[in-house]
Homo-oligomer: A and B are copies of this chain.
Amino acid sequence: MKTTRNTTAKTAVLEVFEKSRTALSHTEIQKQLNDVCDRVTIYRILDRLVNDDIVHKISNLDGTVKYAKCNHSNQRVHIHNHAHFSCENCHEITCLENVKPSYIMPHNYKVKEINFTLSGLCPNCLNSNI
């Protein structure tokens, strides 16, 4: 069985996540890492973190992909059914841990994962009345 190692690069990436209130793209992580490691390594670390349920991947309407730390890694069944908010002004993406959509599916579909992203203006940008 494949074990996951704690490398300096991985630790650095996790620290970046720890410091961030919002979800981060590969590029944003790379900028904050200041050449701690190669671009490719970041991709591979992110893959592993997603695989190990430490981070979850968020895909935005505009095609950008971001990542955020999971704060429920302790749960037995690990699913990300919370919503995300994408601000059209500041482009920040945040987890809305308490927003979970309810819906009724037609028969004959097997749903395994959901991706619910809302976009518009975040509280910050709404207050600066843009």
- Given that A59-B60, A102-B101, A104-B99 are contacting pairs, would A115 and B112 also be in contact in the complex, using a CB cutoff of 8 Å? no
Return the contact of A103 from the options B57, B62, B100, B113 (Cβ within 8 A).
B100
- Whether, in the assembled complex, A61 has its beta carbon less than 8 Å from a beta carbon of chain B, the answer is yes
Number of copies: 2
- Whether, in the assembled complex, A3 has its beta carbon less than 8 Å from a beta carbon of chain B, the answer is no
Residue of B nearest to A126 (CB): B110
Provide the bound-state CA to CA distance between A59 and B113, in Å: 15
- Whether, in the assembled complex, A20 has its beta carbon less than 8 Å from a beta carbon of chain B, the answer is no
Contact surface of A with B, Cβ cutoff 8 Å: 57, 59-63, 65, 83, 85, 88, 96, 98-106, 108-123, 126-127
11 contacts between A and B (CB under 8 A): A59-B60, A59-B63, A63-B65, A96-B106, A100-B103, A103-B116, A111-B120, A113-B118, A114-B116, A115-B117, A115-B118
